[in-house]
Amino acid sequence: MMTEIRRLPDALRVRAQHQRDEIAHDDGRRALSFAAWNDAADALGGGLAARGLRPGDRVLLPISNAYAVEMLIAVQGVLRAGGIACPVNPRLMPDEMAAYARLIEPAMTITDIPDRMADAGAGTVFAVDAMPSDPAALPDQAALDMTADAIILQTSGTTGGKLKGVVIAHPDLLGSTDGISRQASRSMAHALPLTGSGGAMAAGLQPIRSGATVYTMRKFDPEGFLQLVAEKKPDTIFLVPAMLRLILDLPNVADYNLTGTKWLITGSAPLPHDTVVRALALWPHMRMRNSYAMSEGGAALSTTTREQLVKPGCVGKMADTLELRDEEGKPVSQGQTGEIYGRQGKPRRYWRDEEATQASFVGEWTRSGDLGYVDADGDLILCGRSKELIIRGGYNITPLEIETVLHDHPAVKDAAVVGIGHEVLGEDVAAAVALATGAQASPEELEAWCRARLADNKVPRTILILDELPLNPNGKFLKRELKPLLEEAAAARKVAATAR
What pLDDT does 161 receive? 54
> Around 162, how many Cα atoms within 13 Å sit in the side-chain half-sphere?
15
Low-confidence ranges of the chain (pLDDT < 50): 157-160
Q: What is the pLDDT of residues 467-496, one digit of tens each?
A: 999 887 667 788 889 999 999 999 988 887
In single-letter form, the type of residue at position 141 comes to: Q
Domains along the chain with CATH numbers? 8-174 (3.40.50.980), 187-321+342-363 (3.40.50.12780), 389-499 (3.30.300.30)
**Whole-number Å distance between alpha carbons of 23 and 27:** 11
What percent of the chain lies above the pLDDT cut of 70?
A: 97
CB 175 within 8 A of CB 206: no
Q: What is the pLDDT of residues 322-332, one digit of tens each?
A: 999 998 899 99
What pLDDT does 160 receive? 47
Q: Among 460, 470, 487, which Cα is nearest to 414's?
A: 470
CB 44 within 8 A of CB 132: yes
312: left (phi over 0), alpha (psi -120 to 50) or beta: beta
What pLDDT does 2 receive? 62
What pLDDT does 431 receive? 96
What pLDDT does 165 receive? 94
For every residue of 147-209, DSSP letters joined together read TSEEEEEEE--TT-SS-EEEEEEHHHHHTT--S----S--EEEE---TTSHIIIIIITTHHHH
Q: Which helix (H) or strand (E) holds 434?
A: strand 426-435
3-class secondary structure per residue, 87-123: ECCCCCCHHHHHHHHHHHCCCEEEECCHHHHCCCCCC
What pLDDT does 420 receive? 92
Neighbours of 500 (CB within 10 A): 4
What pLDDT does 18 receive? 95
The model carries a pTM of 0.84
Q: What are 358-366's contacts with CB under 8 Å, separation 24+?
A: 359/159, 360/157, 360/158, 360/159, 360/296, 361/296, 362/329, 365/298, 365/323, 365/341, 366/158, 366/294, 366/296, 366/297, 366/298, 366/341, 366/342
What pLDDT does 245 receive? 86
Q: Are strands 164-169 and 349-350 parallel, antiparallel or unpaired?
A: antiparallel
